[in-house]
Structure 1
Amino acid sequence: MVNADIKVGTSPWGPQDQLGALNHLTAEKSAAILARVDGSKSYDLSIDYFVGMPSFQAAGDPSYQLYMSHTPAGTVVDNLNGVGEAVNRHVCYSGDVVFMYTHTGTHIDSLNHFGVDGQIYNGFTPEENLGSRGWTKAGAETIPPIITRGILLDIAKRHGVECLPDSYAITVEDCKDALDASDVTLEAGDVAFIRTGRMGYWPDGSRVLGNPPGLSLEAARWLTDQGISAIAADQECVEVGPSQHEDNWLPGHCHFLTEAGVPMIELVNLEELSRDGIGEFCLVAAPIRLRGASGAPLRPIAMPLRGQLS
């Protein structure tokens, strides 16, 4: 094992920049990819949220919970609205409450999620920018709607397997081979989607989570060198686990978020895209604007381009 040697990145977009690589998203790029869309089909790349779903409870985070705060029968008994039994039996009212870790299910990591040596991307420090109600810099609310070109790097298919082996470290050559197979190249502002095959086991937590196949640090650095605006994968941390670097237990997170300013999208379902051979697509995605949060649920939608569907 060797040191990762990761440093805090300084934004080329200025000392107050909180977007990082999302600055590569331009109106011109969005318009260009939208102009190529075949609107007859779309792919929902997110997963359902449900009680008992795989989550990070082993790390001490709460499991996803949903409970009813109002039910039709309860409203009749409680009469909290004061309109009486007859009206409350006529108008049936349900309401619920959700409680969860912000990195549950399909979600995006904000740039304040990980830091190095006491700083997050662009040198923001917790002493100046972390209050009792979250970060004042680089939170989930700063992430704009992502409308850009998505590129699928189907690493599992390139290896001829349904799923890569546990702890397989994806190489730069793996990434290049997958791009060659789809006859596409990465361009500035694209979102790269890495398929390991893990989502084929969803929602079996014993097979979806733990010792993930994922990007090596070398592959991560090669991808950010291509100017991607975000990185995504069908497993829980994008990078390979456990870490290959003795000085950092999640070097991929530190590189993408802290060094390169590239948000990370995790637990996306890429099985249908792989099945239909869609290597290039229009991506539309936006997180819930949770002010100051280190991450937020995301619902990415992939739309094929004209001429891709038979």
Structure 2
Amino acid sequence: MRVTAIALGASLLAVGAAQAQTAAPTWSPPPENVRCPSKWGAGDERGSANHMKPAAVVEALKLVKTGEVIELGHVLGQTMPFFGTRRFDVHAKRTFMNTGTNRRGSNEEIVVAEIGQVGTQFDGFAHQTVENSWYNCVKVDENVTRGGFSKYGIHGVGSLVARGVLIDVAGLKGVETLPDAYEITVQDLEDALRKQNLTIKPGDAIIVNTGWGRLWGKENARFVKSCPGLGVKAAEWLIAKDPLLLGSDNWPVEVSPNPDSNLSLPVHQLALVVHGVHLLENMKLDELVQKGVSEFAFMMQPLKIQGGSGSTVAPVAMR
């Protein structure tokens, strides 16, 4: 009986500990009366894209000294990593000969894809909610239509040109790729910036190298299973710097799974919903890292998908 009682007591303690963990997550979305209206004003739909002004473009282009352009986007194709039912299929429409003596042949294709959420992709504010509430506290039933989202459609973002800053955390650690599910800390960011002799300015496109992009198209199952990335504290620290966007070479920018098993991609809510900061995922950073480029002119434009939640993109760095 004593053994049974001890075992029962241990079980109850374990259940109690689990319940305590469930009841006290390490981060919770702030209530609406705290996060709304956003710092950009009630009714604002642009969030961090408000940094996109002529003066910011002029300052960014001053960084172009050689004219070198480095592509930061992966090629779209069927060898990409995919999540769930996301897909990217290309079906060629073969040549037909037009009338005329010059025998002009025409070729086209049909693309079947969740075009806003595959490849190197840019997240709009329609992509994420806190329960039934978007950025600036617009409600789900006020925003969803059969033809897309009434507010925060990716078509409204437009071109983004800014100073780009690459924070090489993998390089700081002396590795090509950070370990699976490694949580990047504030200390990591501070140390990397110090090592690279960089400072962050408001309106920067802040990009974090984890090395995870090296798995792209090679170890796809591992790529989507987990990834190193920003922890909540590190993301809060970067967002406090007032960036144009946060980007990385992994699929969610943040660490996954989160060290707190109660949380599901909290940085997505923190950035997109709470603060109105865009996320740029699945970037191709190997050339920037290889060439030691930490500061550059960043340029990108999402596809103008009416009412879309995001867009596949092909960003570039110019120096």
Settle same-fold status: TM greater than 0.5: yes
Letter of the 1:38 counterpart? K
Q: Cα RMSD between the aligned structures?
A: 1.6
Q: TM-score, normalised by structure 1?
A: 0.89
Pick from 188, 192, 195: which aligns with 2:206? 192
CA distance in structure 2 between the aligned counterparts of 1:220 and 1:88, rounded to whole angstroms:
62
Q: Residues of 1 paired with 2:260 and 2:29: CA distance? A: 11
Choose the corresponding residue for 1:91, options 95, 104, 113: 104
Q: Name stretches of at least 5 consecutive residues in structure 1 with no aligned partner.
A: 305-310
> What SS class does the counterpart of residue 174 from structure 2 fall into?
coil
What residue number does 1:206 align with? 221
- Give the letter for the 1:4 counterpart: W
In structure 2, how many angstroms separate the alpha carbons of the residues matched to 1:117 and 1:92? 52
Q: CA deviation at 1:13?
A: 2.1
Tell me if the contact between 2:123 and 2:310 (Cα under 8 Å) persists in the aligned partners: yes
| Aligned residue number for residue 44 of structure 2 | 17
Select which of 70, 92, 113 maps to 1:43: 70
CA contact (8 A) 1:4 1:247 kept: no
2:241 is the alignment partner of 1:226: yes
Give yes or no for contact 1:52–1:64 (8 Å, CA) kept in 2.
Answer: no
User: What is aligned with 1:143?
Assistant: 157
Which residue number corresponds to residue 85 of structure 2?
60
Distance (whole Å) between structure 1 residues aligned to residue 117 and residue 44 of structure 2: 23
Q: In structure 2, give the amino acid aligned to 1:90.
A: R
Measured in 2, the distance between the counterparts of 1:118 and 1:188 equals 30
| TM-superposition CA deviations, 1:89-127 (whole Å, max 9, x none) | 921111101111221001100011111031010011111
CA distance in 2, matches of 1:164, 1:52: 23
- Identity score, percent: 29
**Offset of 1:292 from its aligned partner?**
1.1
How far apart are 1:202 and its partner, in Å?
Answer: 2.1
- Please, what TM-score do these two structures have when normalized by structure 2? 0.87
Over 3 Å counting, the alpha-carbon distance change for 1:183 and 1:66 in structure 2 is: same
**Counterpart-to-counterpart distance in 2, 1:183 and 1:38:** 19
Corresponding residue number in structure 2 for 1:116? 130
1:160 deviates by 0.4
Residues 247-269 of structure 1, C-alpha deviation per residue, up to 9 Å, x if partnerless?
43110101010011101000001
CA–CA distance in 2 between the matches of 1:176 and 1:33? 23
1:261 aligns with 2:276: yes
**Equivalenced residues, count:** 290
Equivalent residue number for residue 307 of structure 1: none
Aligned pair 1:28/2:55, yes or no?
Answer: yes
| 1:308 alignment partner in structure 2 | none
Alignment gaps of 5+ in structure 2: 1-20
For 1:182 and 1:253, locate their aligned partners in 2 and report how far apart those are by CA, in whole Å: 27
- Residues 155-200 of structure 1: CA distance to partner in whole angstroms, max 9, x if unpaired? 0000000100000000001111111111111111001101010112
